[in-house]
């Protein structure tokens, strides 16, 4: 599996995610930049999750059918043609960091796929990962942290 990169102009690897992108702020998705997906990539899929949640990994965002040529996902937007799935709140779309206590880690996991997935918008992370099994050409990851100001 090839590696490529995902970055953000809003925060760097391992650093705090600004409150603007959290439930405490505007609750919009942060800007993301995609660098050098593998040759043969036909689409991209993205999952944002929090493994530090007290109830187990909390899913904040699930997106697929991101066009292969996408190199930027603007703040608060989803690329044309992409589909958002169900998060752990049972809603479709992005839900920003909202840890009940302490500092949590938030992982943006980007998958380069050799196919374009046709899935219903009720698809969650588990269903997406099952659907893309065998189609992943590469994976990129960006991790940011967040803690609520008291």
Q: What is the pLDDT of residues 71-129, one digit of tens each?
A: 999 999 999 999 999 999 999 999 999 999 999 999 999 999 999 999 998 999 999 99
User: Which CATH number does the domain housing residue 142 bear?
Assistant: 3.90.280.10
User: What are the distances in angstroms from CA 30 to CA 78, 82, 94, 137, 149?
Assistant: 11, 16, 10, 25, 19
Task: Give the structural domain span for 24.
Answer: 2-147
> Domain total for the chain?
1
Give the tens place of pLDDT for each residue, 17-57. Answer: 999 999 999 999 999 999 999 999 999 999 999 999 999 99
Backbone angles phi, psi at 93, to 5 degrees: 110, -165
């Amino acid at each position: 599996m090839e590696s490529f990169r995902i970055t953000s102009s809003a925060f760097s690897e391992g650093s705090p995610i600004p409150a603007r992108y959290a439930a405490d702020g505007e609750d919009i998705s942060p800007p993301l930049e995609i660098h050098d997906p593998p040759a043969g990539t036909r689409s991209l899929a993205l999952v944002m999750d929090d493994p530090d949640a007290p109830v187990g990994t909390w899913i904040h965002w699930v997106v697929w059918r991101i066009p292969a040529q996408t190199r930027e996902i603007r703040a608060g937007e989803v690329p044309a043609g992409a589909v958002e799935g169900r998060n752990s709140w049972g809603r479709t779309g992005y839900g920003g960091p909202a840890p009940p206590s302490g500092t949590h880690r938030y992982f943006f996991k980007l998958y380069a796929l050799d196919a374009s997935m046709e899935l219903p918008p009720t698809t969650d992370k588990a269903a997406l990962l099952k659907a893309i099994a065998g189609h992943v050409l590469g994976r990129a990851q960006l991790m940011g942290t967040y803690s609520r100001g008291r």
